[in-house]
Amino acid sequence: MFFDLNIRGAGLENNIALASEASRYGWGHINFSYNQNEFKEGLELRDELEDSLSDVIDFDYTLEIKSTNINEIRKIANKYRNKASCISVVGGDLKVNRAVVENVKIDVLSRPYLKRFDSGLNHILAKEALNNSVAIELCFKDVLRTYLSHRSKVISSFKDIYVLYRKFDFPLVLSTRSESIFDIRTTHDFISFFKQTGLSEDEINKSFETSRNILEFNKDRDKMIFRGVRRIVDEA
């Protein structure tokens, strides 16, 4: 199944349109992403979305934290940990990138290269991402919506991250970050793009598996003593 953990959530009609288009283009599961100021309102749409999308596509929610305040990021992640199937933090600021990959309660460091002249990752941060199972997210829209030197810089950051990924094998997530139906591409086009930037088909498929693992792990996160060890309640 093809997973996209970052489709930008909005109102009910827009979400239904995005989900329907994603399904038509081959996606099997999407997460609507909302920032910390919109997340509660987004959750209120769940029942209506389930009524409209139950036979169309699987969906859930990503909390996408946007802040450069490390303490605020930590507080928001703790507050919503059991309410979001995925918690992501928008990167770019080096202090944020480091704090996120060191935090086991956060699932994804999104776009560590954002507004930077480098990828936002180095060997130290790559090791921390691996040790704490924090996925690094690359967004297709960052290429789709950019041009010339800016686009070249984003693709160069992707390639630098691929080098670290192959060396350290931290979790990698690929997403569209679509905001409208015009941003969504078929799964074939999506895969073809990332192959052109240097990933193999196996690596791309592994990224979809990583997305699925994040969702599966968080279903039982409240029962986890630590990663890999789950508390079992005897109901006998």
Greatest Cα pair distance, the chain, in angstroms, is 64
Using the predicted structure, report yes or no on whether residue 26 has a pLDDT greater than 60. yes
Residue 13: how many other CB atoms lie within 10 Å:
9
Tens-place pLDDT, residues 172-225: 999 999 999 999 999 999 999 999 999 999 999 999 999 999 999 999 877 654
The predicted pLDDT at position 236 comes to 46
The predicted pLDDT at position 221 comes to 78
Q: Can you give the chain as a three-state secondary structure string?
A: CCEEEEEECCCHHHHHHHHHHHHHCCCCEEEEEECCCCHHHHHCCHHHHHHHHCCCCEEEEEEEECCCCHHHHHHHHHHHCCCCCEEEEECCCHHHHHHHHCCCCCCEEECCCCCCCCCCCCHHHHHHHHHCCCEEEEECHHHHCCCHHHHHHHHHHHHHHHHHHHHHCCCEEEECCCCCCCCCCCHHHHHHHHHHCCCCHHHHHHHHHHHHHHHHHHHCHHHEEECCEECCCCCC
∠ CA 51-222-95, nearest 5°, is 95
The reported pTM is 0.92
Single out the residue of 92, 204, 69 nearest to residue 140, CA to CA.
204
Report d(CA 93, CA 98) in Å as an integer. Answer: 9
Are 60 and 49 spatial neighbours (Cβ–Cβ below 8 Å)? no
The predicted pLDDT at position 220 comes to 84
Q: Which two tokens stand for residue 9?
A: 């959530």
The predicted pLDDT at position 223 comes to 65
Mean pLDDT of 36-42: 97
Average pLDDT, the chain: 94
Using the predicted structure, report yes or no on whether residue 230 has a pLDDT greater than 60. no
∠ CA 112-117-120, nearest 5°, is 25
Using the predicted structure, report yes or no on whether residue 228 has a pLDDT greater than 80. no
Tens-place pLDDT, residues 115-149: 999 999 999 999 999 999 999 999 999 999 889 99
- 161 pLDDT band, cuts 50/70/90, is very high
Please name the residues in contact with 199: beta carbons below 8 A apart, sequence gap of 6 or more. Answer: 162
Using the predicted structure, report yes or no on whether residue 110 has a pLDDT greater than 80. yes
The predicted pLDDT at position 24 comes to 97
Angle formed by the axes of helices 46-53 and 12-24, nearest 10°? 40
The predicted pLDDT at position 231 comes to 47
Mean pLDDT of 33-38: 97
Please tell me the least confidently modeled range out of 42-56, 92-106, 111-125, 214-228: 214-228
Report d(CA 104, CA 87) in Å as an integer. Answer: 11
- 112 pLDDT band, cuts 50/70/90, is very high
∠ CA 135-219-110, nearest 5°, is 20
The predicted pLDDT at position 76 comes to 98
Using the predicted structure, report yes or no on whether residue 227 has a pLDDT greater than 90. no
